[in-house]
Amino acid sequence: MQKTVMISTRKGLFEATKARGGWKISGAHFEGDNVTLMLRDPRDGTDYAALNHGHFGIKLHRRDKGKKKWQEIDAPKYPEKPEGLVDKDGWGKDVNWSTQLIWALECAGGAKDKGQLWCGTMPGGLFRSKDRGQTWELMESLWRHPDRNKWLGGGADIPGIHSICVDPRDSNIVRVAVSCGGVWRTEDDGKTWAQSGHGMKFDNGPKSEVESPDGQDPHMMVQCPAEPSKFWVQHHASIFKSVNDGVTWTNVNAKPSSFGFGVVVHPKDGDTAWFVPGIKDEKRIPVGGAVVVTRTRDGGKTFKTLKKGLPQKYAYDVVFRHGLALDDSGGKLVMGSTTGNVWVSEDQGDSWVQVSSTLPQVYAVRWV
Amino acid sequence: MLAEGATVRTVLDVVFATHDRLGSYVLDDQGALRKHMRILVNGRAIRDLEKQSDAVGPHDEVWVMQALSGG
């Protein structure tokens, strides 16, 4: 059972655990450093932490199971850009072949493939490691796909891969979501890739752009482990779901808003998912200054607004795409916000308790 | 430390060879100077930020500095 929450923030990686007296911050790593994401590989207990030093670049650290000490390992590195190559993104800007953010870290392969990892980055490269992050290989097949030049930055200046779903039925099938570049699918372990974001659309703009899958901005994508044909996407324009392996997507509307960044799906029930809504899209604050979570249990036909224990006045917390997490049992949620608040729910979101109100800006949370 | 080389980059490479991972802190994946880094040779900022091809003499002093900012 997962009992600890790992919280990646602007100024460190923090642990929260439940003790007598309730939930508390119980440990800190990399204090003062910008930790953007962490992963614990349940197959061997190894922890990985991604740092963005800004001036010094993107770094990756690893910690063996049960150990306190972290060791810096190589971060994914782009190959040398061929001399004379014109490589522009969807805005027409030159692409800098250099890792600028580790935006997704997930286990690759199946239960027996210890140490295999996927890593999604800005400016859009997908990397794989087969040796616990010791070495990384760029997925050239996706990076050199001609449609990659249609990808563009959304909220960030440059495109990036933030969601990676390894199919539990066959780990050769992987889907990744790109802001902004739609959803990409491989069925042959990365040898070939195809667009899989058909049906998503923006709500304003020229028709050719609004419905073009290559320009879609899925903020976050999740796949139900027990019902793997069911996917949810919190998209820039709305919520989308797929019940056919992510081949096509349909729009779902929620109150008080369908805008947000994070989404999680129940591990056994693909019709149950949670979102953190906000005012779309130039404001990006909770509706009415009240932090709420929305939950559907019927595949998006209806949503319940959950707010017990969450601030309902003058609250301007935004929960980023990796800032909402569900544990493996599907019973416990955690979310961390841009204003350093962290809340835990142990009843599927019906009620929440505050873990901290004093942390730095939260980028990502995970149950471990 | 003392390091020999005819250009800033060759000097840097000598230093990087003795300090594991240092190179990735100063240069990006393409070998360009990271954007908050500055290199000075005898007090003058180098001009070739992409390849650091600026000349270095036998007794020149090379400084690698970074600007730290933000909150």
Q: Could you read off the pLDDT of B5-56 as tens digits, one per residue?
A: 999 999 999 999 998 899 999 999 999 999 999 999 999 999 999 999 999 9
Average pLDDT, chain A: 96
Cα dist from A142 to A14, A24, A114, A176, whole Å: 34, 42, 24, 11
Report whether pLDDT(B71) > 80: no
My answer on whether omega of the bond before A180 falls inside 30° of 0, hence cis, is: yes
Q: What's the gap in Å between the CA of B4 and the closest CA on chain A?
A: 25
ipTM (interface predicted TM)? 0.89
The reported pLDDT for the residue numbered B44 is 95
Residue matched to tokens 């999680």: A264
Report whether pLDDT(A154) > 90: no
Cα dist from A309 to A178, A285, A294, A296, A306, whole Å: 33, 18, 14, 19, 9
Q: What's the gap in Å between the CA of A11 and the closest CA on chain B?
A: 10
Report whether pLDDT(A67) > 80: yes
Report whether pLDDT(A309) > 90: yes
The reported pLDDT for the residue numbered B16 is 95
Report whether pLDDT(A86) > 80: yes
Q: What's the gap in Å between the CA of B63 and the closest CA on chain A?
A: 16
A98 neighbourhood in chain B, CB within 8 Å: 28-30, 32
Report whether pLDDT(B2) > 90: no
The reported pLDDT for the residue numbered A113 is 96
Nearest C-alpha in A relative to B22: A56
The reported pLDDT for the residue numbered A202 is 92
Q: Chain A residues contacting B, CB < 8 Å?
A: 53-57, 59, 72, 75, 77-78, 80-81, 96-99
pLDDT level of residue B1 (50, 70, 90 thresholds): confident
Report whether pLDDT(A262) > 90: yes
The reported pLDDT for the residue numbered A213 is 93
Percentage of residues of chain B with pLDDT beyond 70: 97
Q: What is the mean pLDDT of residues A209-225?
A: 95
Between residues B68 and A232, the one the model is more confident about: A232
Q: What is the mean pLDDT of residues A76-84?
A: 96
Of A55, A59, A77, the CB nearest to B68: A55
